[in-house]
Amino acid sequence: MTRTRKEKKEETEKSDLRRLPTEQILPAAADLDRMSSLEIVSLINQEDATVAPAVSCALPQIARAIDVVVNGLRQGGRLIYVGAGTSGRIGALDASEIPPTFNTDPQTVQFIMAGGPKALAASTEASEDDTSLALAEIKKRKPGKRDIVLGIATSGRTPFTIAAVEYARRRGTHTIALTCNRDSPLERAADFAIVTEVGAEVLAGSSRMKAGTAHKMVLNMISTGAMTRLGYVYGNLMVNVWTKNEKLVQRAIRILEQATGADHDAARAALKASGNRTPVAVVMLAAGVKASQAAAALKRSRGHVRQAIDLANVSLRSE
């Protein structure tokens, strides 16, 4: 049977996988199974030390990603991570930590995982080749021009992730690739790519190691940077933190003390008067206004705490 051009291309890319830097044998780890525990951890630690420099080489692209995400979220868009295996789980982790850290709507930062939520705890590695499933999942989200789809794949060749990114891009959605290998199909599928070249792993081909660490670092930068630019951070304080339990209430009081210089009793009273809404309490204390005025200023600034303080101060002076 004569193979189609698509089948030949897929076969070539599978062969190319063996030539990827992340799939190579690390010479220093060739005798890993003969090493002592101390030798193993020393080698892993030595290799882990190369991840931050690899990420630093991609800082301009990471900053560009933050700008794209900020612009999209300001217009009511969403950030949607897509991935399979380790890459998908890291995307899911970052997405799940945004609401409690910044008190955002869970729909603001989402994830699509090959194999679905069950794949977070169990191996469903065959799902990464299922492009029909990828299309079904991304179509459910109805990505549009205000949204951002960020595909994560160490190799840059995961069919599930590529299919989702290609579909989103055709819809006019902003698309970003996060990989550890240059000139990959995923990079070509997206508007632009963030490439962290971490090289060969101590455990050959195991993307849960340096590649996974690099992905985690980059997603931390993108989500934290975007939320900071949106004003959900004041100074370097988590002023949008949830107050769902006593520990978090105490953390919010401490944040109010640090952000405004208020004493413990004043901070607690402001938090109570705000209805346990930390950003409202920050504006109240920083600008010396009532809860209703602080809430109104935050609404006008679209949740940007520092801008809300300025607005509240202007409003107070005009009275």
pLDDT digits (tens, 9 = 90+) for 201-226: 888 888 899 999 999 999 999 999 99
> 247 φ, ψ to 5°?
-60, -45
**23 occurs within a structural domain:** yes
285 and 179 co-located in one domain: no
Work out the angle at residue 169's Cα, subtended by the Cα atoms of residues 158 and 60, and round it to the nearest 5 degrees: 80
What pTM did the predictor assign?
0.89
List 10, 13, 23, 97, catalytic entry = 97
How many CA atoms lie within 13 Å of 73's alpha carbon, on the beta-carbon side? 28
CATH number, domain of 165, equals 3.40.50.10490
124 and 250 co-located in one domain: no
47 given a catalytic annotation = no
257 and 305 co-located in one domain: yes
Given this model, what pLDDT does residue 18 score? Answer: 67
Tens of pLDDT along 234-293? 999 999 988 888 998 999 999 999 999 999 999 999 999 999 999 999 999 999 999 999
Dist. CA 177–CA 188, nearest whole Å = 9
Tens of pLDDT along 273-289? 999 999 999 999 999 99
220 and 79 co-located in one domain: yes
**284 occurs within a structural domain:** yes
28 and 71 co-located in one domain: yes
- Strand (E) positions, 44-108? 79-83
**185 occurs within a structural domain:** yes
10 given a catalytic annotation = no
pLDDT higher than 50, residue 230: yes
pLDDT higher than 90, residue 317: no
Element (H, E) at 248: helix 246-260
Q: CA 203 → CA 139, 176, 250, 271, distances in Å?
A: 36, 28, 43, 50
Given this model, what pLDDT does residue 2 score? Answer: 46
pLDDT higher than 60, residue 4: no
Nearest to 276 by CA among 291, 257, 261: 291
List 47, 128, 187, 201, catalytic entry = 128
251 and 148 co-located in one domain: no
Confidence grade of residue 297 (pLDDT, cut at 50, 70, 90):
very high
Give the structural domain span for 259: 246-318
Nearest to 237 by CA among 216, 267, 215, 214: 267
Nearest to 153 by CA among 189, 131, 181: 181
Check residue 181 and report its DSSP letter. S
Q: Which of 201, 229, 257 corresponds to the end of one domain? A: 229
**312 occurs within a structural domain:** yes
Query: Helices 291-300 and 305-318, interaxial angle, to 10°?
Result: 120
Q: What are 315's two structure tokens?
A: 């409003």
Those residues with Cβ within 8 angstroms of residue 169's Cβ, 6 or more apart along the chain or in another chain: 149, 175, 189, 190, 191
Confidence grade of residue 189 (pLDDT, cut at 50, 70, 90):
very high
Q: What's the structural domain count of the chain?
A: 2
